[in-house]
Structure 1
Amino acid sequence: MRGAKNAKKRLWRWRSNPLRRHDDIVEAWIVLAVWAFVGVGGAVAGTVTARAADVVFAQQRAERRPVRAVLLTSVPKSAVTGGAADDRRLATVRYPAPDGSSRSGLTRVDSGLSAGTSVMAWEDGRGHLVSEPPSAAAAGVEAAVLGTAAACAVAGAVLGAGAVARWRLDERRTALWGREWDLVGPQWGHRTG
């Protein structure tokens, strides 16, 4: 019984009522459209973004390969101890390109290594040094985070547009009430007992 009363309160703009204005119907359609776009648009944007990110990460894992590189310069030990900071630094290394030639470039290596040490580097199909591709699990998490962010961005934009539209309707209703009061107000003036 109580649920029926709550439903009637929530759906009052849709029922026939002599006090219902055209703006109330417009507002009801705006609210319905906003929530439909938040649900459907957010889900679609999130799914498309997550799948696109997952494809990119899979492509990176397929294209990039590890290579043995030789450190050309020594990398001093990091002064930060206790460990929250990343203990890797950029250093110059020499590595074999896919065509067999020898190249040099910058990559991140552990600190505290001396020149001539063999390190692992990652290169793409063109022989350029790149960062290590994310693992399948890390890529899945990152794709999910990106999809959630896209869904939230779409939902926020739609909710903001709906709030602006409802604010404009409120401004219009307030102006109409003011004009109606200007007509009716003088008829009520100074009639106290």
Structure 2
Amino acid sequence: MLAAWVLVVLSGVFTGLLTARTVERGLAVERAQWRSVAAQVTEDAVGSAATESASGLVWAKVRWTAPDGSAHTGQARVYAGTEAGTPVTVWTDRQGRLVTKPATASQAQTRSAMVGVLVGVSAAAVPFVGGRLVRGRLERHRMDQWDQEWARIGPRWGRTTS
């Protein structure tokens, strides 16, 4: 049981820390490689109660020029009522494709910590459940041995020796 608990702690901590570090590193790469680009809305952004989010944003077609000079179009979230020709900021990757705004350093730390905890707990669950199964099997084996011993000794329990 001690070995199971050691595995639970070690697997949870190491897996969680490794995952958190990997997530944070990935988000740092996004921050370094993704760039904000000025784009223009190409059609009026009309929103309805069905298409509008709680923040008042709707999807609209936008056009932008990538760092290599190529023209691109895509869909971006803008405020309902934004007119065609209005400049907006979009985020692109190295190939000029639209991406979400990268996480700030503090958001990245929070995300990586949450993912690390979730993965660490999940990783620790494996040896924990395994230990519980082994413990249950050992307990059943011990109880079977006790029953066998009681079956052998029990009938002689009330006898007195003469």
Q: Structures share a fold, TM > 0.5?
A: yes
Picking from 98, 111, 120, the partner of 1:151 is 120
* Conservation of the 8 A alpha-carbon contact between 2:57 and 2:77: yes
Higher relative contact order (CA closer than 8 Å, sequence separation 6+) = 2
Q: Which whole-Å deviations, capped at 9, do the CAs of 1:160-180 have from their partners, x for residues lacking one?
A: 111111011111112212222
Q: Corresponding residue for 1:3?
A: none
Q: Corresponding residue for 1:96?
A: 65
How far did 1:184 drift? Answer: 1.9
Greater Cα shift, 103-112 or 139-148? 103-112
Q: Corresponding residue for 1:41?
A: 11
Identical residues among aligned pairs (%): 36
Q: Corresponding residue for 2:45?
A: 75
Query: Quick one: distance in 1 between partners of 2:60 and 2:79?
Result: 9
Q: How many residues align?
A: 158
SS in 1 for 2:69: coil
Q: 1:177 to 1:144 in 2, by over 3 A?
A: same
AA aligned to 2:7 is F
User: What's the TM-score, normalizing by structure 1?
Assistant: 0.74
AA aligned to 1:46 is G
* Conservation of the 8 A alpha-carbon contact between 2:38 and 2:90: yes
* Conservation of the 8 A alpha-carbon contact between 1:71 and 1:91: yes
Query: Quick one: distance in 2 between partners of 1:48 and 1:87?
Result: 38
AA aligned to 1:130 is V
How far did 1:190 drift? Answer: 8.3
AA aligned to 1:99 is D
Query: Quick one: distance in 2 between partners of 1:189 and 1:72?
Result: 97
How far did 1:77 drift? Answer: 4.1
Q: Corresponding residue for 2:31?
A: 61
Query: Quick one: distance in 2 between partners of 1:121 and 1:102?
Result: 14
SS in 2 for 1:93: strand
